[in-house]
Structure 1
Amino acid sequence: MSTRTAAAGRRVSPVFLGIVAVIVVSGWAVWTGFALVSGVAVFVFVTAAWVVSLCLHEYSHARTALHSGDTTVTAKGYLTLNPFAYTHTLLSIVLPVLFVIMGGIGLPGGAVFIERGRISGRWKHSLISAAGPLTNVLFAFVCTAPFWLHALDGVPVVFQYALGFLALLQVTAAILNFVPVPGLDGYGVIEPWLSYRIRRQVEPFAPFGLIAVFGILWIPEVNHAFFDAIHALLRALGISDFTTYCGFDAYRFWQTADPVCALSP
């Protein structure tokens, strides 16, 4: 690979920068109340921020793989943060956004193709898989910081709602991705430590892991238990159930807004 090609493969994509610009503009609209009557501003702000977190999630996988020995990720465009450069745009961008809209669940899917044969050492393989959800942990840390730092004075209520809902998405993404189910990063963390026989037996189920987890979460008892645990964690970080509920309510602007959310949290 030439030096010029390598540099292009690591240059931040204009598409990603455009999405960041959308976050800034829509965030300003939410903060100031501009166009708030339609509720579109909250939807655009949270969705754009969620897509950025998905890009960072996949970038973390690729960057860790690069330093572990797979230099092909540069030519594939994985280091440009361009959401259209990933192997499965459907799994990595479209389905996760649909999951957010349908159920308020943050669940990024695997997208970058790592040439594992170029990488030696089980710890490296595990770290590559863990890098993505750890990025969601960091993103959640940033989103929740204003709450546990008690730095919300002067922050508009609706912006707090949006930030609280975005934090919920990041927390669910981190936790669900660490579930050791084939097709998710949690399984990728433990896979290098499994026997060859077990890996071969599990391999056919990998394409269905993401859908299976989402399907299981639609079971009412499982869904309630899962979100009870998520909300307990968020409360420990200073984000109330009221804030995340109203954030989701504001996000789904096409539905009639709950008048209770017009009150302060």
Structure 2
Amino acid sequence: MTTATRRHSDRRISPVFLGIAAVMAVTGWAVWTNFAASPGIAVFLFVTSAWIVSLCLHEYAHARTALHSGDISIGTKGYLTLNPLAYTHAMLSIVLPVLFVILGGIGLPGGAVFIERGRITGRWKHSLISAAGPLTNLLFAVVCTAPFWLDALDGVPMVFRFALAFLALLQITAAILNSLPVPGLDGYGMIEPWLSYKIRRQVEPYAPFGLLAVFALLFIPEVNIAFFGVIDTVLSGLGVQEDYSYCGQDFYQFWSDRNPGCEAVANR
């Protein structure tokens, strides 16, 4: 009975996560109804809380896949409660990804859950555990863009469309960047089980710097333009107009001067 009760508590959704989801719901309603005095602040709170929700789901996907692959210690670490405070590195998992979004409009999850890889056998299982996170971001992007590719935008307020488009952009950037075969990112985790022990040992010291290296590269103008050109192509394939995601970012960064074109489209 004690074991069963403990197992249930290990998987009960955290009040912290529920609170963040509530903020997402309330601010999403504020954006939809234009209830807030400043739509920019409402968009900021909605997108930021939704981004944190997606980060929690990203890490939950890693943890849940690891649990079913053989790491039964996952539950006791609190990873199945969706509580962001339970992650191994709160700074990397929540604070840095949110700062990346605020500073550059770039969605890039950080490392978080500690998985006892020694409990898991089979290279495919290890690769799938790493792939589960980016796949979650991709699914989140599909959900965000559903009104666009389903051609169901009638009645959807323009600013809310902008917010969804920007949120989708963050999810797609997260899915693509985190799938790069760079030490410290999930893309490297997908291929690591297939590398020789010698190569893994040589690469291991660079893992803590992979995330920051990718972020730094994106500030090189040529790299940034090429990368976001790919993102725009993906969003276009999902039915999202290019100017929608950038207007979403414009509203999100409410402290900056508003693009008159975005303001004009929003007020149609």
Shorter-chain TM-score category? over 0.9
| Deviation at residue 256 of structure 1 after TM alignment | 1.9
Deviation at 1:65, TM superposition (A): 0.3
SS in 1 for 2:145: helix
SS of equivalent to 1:2? helix
Q: Aligned partners of 1:256, 1:201: CA distance in 2, in Å?
A: 47
Which whole-Å CA distance do the structure 2 matches of 1:6 and 1:206 have between them? 33
Asked if the contact 2:39/2:251 (under 8 Å) is kept, the reply is no
Find the aligned partners of 1:108 and 1:25 in 2 and give their Cα distance.
24
Contact 1:177/1:186, CA 8 A, preserved across alignment? yes
Q: 2:109 and 2:32 mapped to 1: Cα distance?
A: 27
For the residue of structure 1 that corresponds to 2:151, the secondary structure is: coil
SS state of the match for residue 92, structure 2? helix
CA distance in 1 between partners of 2:225 and 2:254 (Å): 24
* TM-score for both structures, normalised by structure 2: 0.97
Residue 205 of structure 1 aligns with an amino acid whose one-letter code is Y
1:263 counterpart SS class: helix
Aligned residue in 1 for 2:59: 58
Partners of 2:163 and 2:24 in 1: CA distance: 12
Partner SS state of residue 39, structure 1: helix
Deviation beyond 4 Å, 4+ runs, structure 1: none
| Amino acid aligned to 1:121 | G
**Distance between the aligned counterparts of 1:140 and 1:55, measured in 2?**
15
Whether the 8 Å contact between 1:29 and 1:36 is mirrored in structure 2 is no
Aligned residue in 2 for 1:227: 228
Q: Tell me which residue corresponds to 1:196.
A: 197
Aligned to 1:69: 70
Shift of 1:38: 5.5
Cα distance in structure 1, aligned partners of 2:22 and 2:91:
23
Report the TM-score when normalising by structure 1: 0.98
Contact 2:47 2:167 in 1 (8 A): yes
Cα RMSD (Å): 1.0
Q: How far does the alpha carbon of each residue in 1:23-71 deviate from its partner, in whole angstroms, 9 at most, with x for none?
A: 1100110001011426211000000000000000000000000000001
Equivalence for 1:151: 152
Find the residue that maps to 2:254 and give its secondary structure: coil
Amino acid in the other structure paired with 1:264: V
- 3-state SS of 2:181 partner: coil
> 5+ residue gaps in structure 2?
none
* Letter in structure 2 aligned against 1:64: T
Q: Which runs of 5+ in 1 are unaligned?
A: none
Contact 1:161 1:247 in 2 (8 A): yes
2-structure distance, mates of 1:11, 1:37: 36
Gap change, CA 1:90 and 1:31, over 3 Å in 2: same
Deviation at 1:263, TM superposition (A): 2.8
| In structure 1, distance between residues paired with 2:164 and 2:39 | 18
CA–CA distance in 1 between the matches of 2:264 and 2:65? 45
Counterpart for residue 250 of structure 1: 251
**Map of 2:49 onto structure 1:** 48
More displaced, 254-263 or 44-53? 254-263
Check if 1:139 corresponds to 2:140.
yes
Q: Please say if residues 137 and 170 of structure 1, whose CA atoms lie closer than 8 Å, have aligned partners that are also in contact.
A: yes
Query: Residues of 2 paired with 1:252 and 1:237: CA distance?
Result: 24
- In 2, the alpha carbon distance for the partners of 1:90 and 1:133 equals 19
Equivalent in the alignment of 2:125 = 124
1:215-248: per-residue Cα shift (whole Å, max 9, x none)?
1111110000000111011111111111011000
What amino acid does structure 2 have at the position aligned with 1:59? Y
- The answer to whether 1:182 aligns with 2:183 is yes
Equivalent residue pairs, number = 265
- How big is the shift at 1:127? 0.3
Structure 2 residue 192 is matched with structure 1 residue 161: no
CA contact (8 A) 1:46 1:166 kept: yes
